[in-house]
Amino acid sequence: MSKLYLARNPRVAARSLDGEMMIMSGRDSTLFTLNKTATILWQAADGATPLDEIVESRICAAFDVEPSRALQDAETLARELATHEILQVSEEPIVPQTSPAGDAR
Amino acid sequence: MCVNTTDPGFLVLLQDRYAGFVTGSEHAEIEFDVDLVSPGFADPDAAVRVTHRLGRWSLQRGDFRAEWDPASRRGWIRQTANPYSIDAVLRIVHSLVLARQGGFLLHSASAIRNGKAFLFAGVSGAGKTTISRLAPPDATLLTDEISYVRKEEAGYVAFGTPFTGELAKLGENVSAPIAALYLLAKGPENRIESVSPGEAVRSLLANVLFFAEDEVMVQSEFHSAFEFVSRVPVSRLTFVPDARVWELIG
């Protein structure tokens, strides 16, 4: 199974408030509130750490879940976040891009 | 804002519509020339589009075309002789100007009481007009539909607007520091409840008037909402159509 890499889309605005991660699409102003797993993926999406490492170190450590199932679910979630242009997903490491209006806080 | 027209009838129409907000000042920050055209010049069903290209804003809807250059502070509006098109243009331009300064136009009624401004936000039917109608004599109505929220050094300030809702009554051309934002809900009793910061931000963003298809402006608006919520108390105000709700406000 090939590695999967995640990076934050620099074209969205993101803020965490009281433990809630909120993301707004710069393209159409759609507002998303991420659940705990999606928040973990967002925070770990540095373009360099493969998804299986993120799952092992952050998701399996936080939730009582079987690793292979967790990886499968995380990949599904990451690809869904990518369809909303929140994350970028690639089988190669992703070079960070610059945000048009400053990075997410 | 200065609006130039060569049509005396249209000038009177504007003076009547924006009475109380019209001054003779020659030092406008933005100046528009209005070009009145015959009906049928554009697709009447086309949705509003606000785009930014090469430093200029382009505004269009089925009933108007407009451009505005922030650098020169000048623009033009092409429309038929009706008040609704220019009203929409003015709302859009004000939303852009405010966004650059950390403020916004908000779908909310607002009023001043005891020197403080209170905002009542909600979608159509939430009760903006109702709570405006119920306002006691000592409350000064700023608007029953669209509040003008400006960020200043000391905090956020609400200004009266000529943008009316069902009440069809212009707000007063005055301002006051914002003391609270209430998210309106109708219910069996009058009460104020706290909301989580996340809900406050979501509700605020859902009621901000924002038209621009521009990533930088969208991101700016997003962060402005967080800034506002960090500085202004936001609560849910549930009320029955009863003037006693104002006993909770001020």
Whether residue A44 is contained in a domain is answered as yes
Distance CA A30, CA B229 (A): 19
- In sequence order, the 6+-apart residues with CB closer than 8 A to the CB of B212 are B50, B51, B52, B57, B95, B96, B99, B218
Tell me whether residue A93 is in a domain.
no
CA A96 to chain centre: 13
Written as six digits, the tokens of B6 are: 């060569």
Q: If interface means Cβ-Cβ distance under 8 Å, which residues of chain B face chain A?
A: 196-198, 201-202, 205-206, 210, 213, 215-216, 218-223, 226, 229
Give yes or no for a contact between B195 and A15, defined as CB atoms under 8 angstroms apart.
no
A48: pLDDT strictly greater than 80: yes
Mutate to test the interface with B, among A22, A33, A35, A86 (most CBs of B within 10 A): A22
Q: What percent of chain B has pLDDT over 90?
A: 80
Residues with Cβ within 8 Å of B181's Cβ and at least 6 positions away in sequence, in order, are: B108, B118, B119, B121, B200, B204, B228, B232, B233, B234, B235
Return the structure tokens found at A20.
């809630």
Which string of b and e fits A79-105 if b means at least 16 CB within 10 Å? Answer: eebbeebbbbbeeeebeeeebebeebe
**pLDDT below 70 — which residues of chain B?**
25, 44
Contact residues, chain B, for A26 at CB < 8 Å: 215-216, 218-219
Distance from chain centroid for Cα B45:
23
- Whether ipTM > 0.85 holds is no
Nearest 5°: the CA angle B182, B186, B192 is 40
Is A102 contained in some domain? no
Chain A: residue nearest B220 by CA? A101
Q: What is the pTM of this model?
A: 0.89
- Is residue A39 in some structural domain? yes
Place of tokens 């990949």: A75
Among B204, B223, B227, pick the best mutation site for testing chain A contact (most A Cβ within 10 A): B223
Of A18, A102, A105, the CB nearest to B197: A18
Q: What is the pLDDT of residue A104?
A: 43
pLDDT surpasses 50 at A105: no
**The pLDDT of residue B206:** 94
May I ask the CATH architecture of the domain B104-248?
A: Alpha-Beta Complex (3.90)
Show residues of chain A in contact with B221, CB under 8 Å.
29
Which comes out higher in pLDDT, residue A105 or B245?
A: B245
What is the domain partition of chain B in residue ranges?
2-100, 104-248
pLDDT tens digits, A60-90: 988 889 999 999 999 999 999 999 999 999 9
**What residues of B are in contact with residue A12 (Cβ under 8 Å)?**
219
Count of A-B CB contacts under 8 Å = 54
Domain assignment of residue A105, yes or no: no
Euclidean distance between CA atoms B81 and B35, whole angstroms: 9
> Tell me, what's the pLDDT at A103?
44
State the amino acid at position B232 in one-letter form.
V
Q: Which residues of A touch B196 (CB under 8 A)?
A: 18, 20
Q: Residue A54's domain is classified under what CATH number?
A: 1.10.10
> Residue A72 in contact with residue A60, Cβ under 8 Å?
no
Q: Quote the minimal CA–CA distance from B41 to chain A in Å.
A: 28
Find chain A residues with C-beta within 8 A of B229's C-beta. Answer: 17
Q: What residues of chain A lie within 8 A of the CB of B215, using their CB? A: 11, 26-27, 100-101
* Residue A42, domain extent: 5-87
Contact B202 A33 (CB under 8 A): yes
HEC assignment per residue over B19-73: CCCCCCCCCCCCEEEEEECCCCCCCCCCCCEEEEECCEEEEEECCEEEEEECCCC
User: Which chain B residue lies closest to A17 (C-alpha atoms)?
Assistant: B198
Identify which has the larger pLDDT, A102 or B33: B33
Count of structural domains, chain A: 1
Q: What pLDDT sits at residue B183?
A: 98
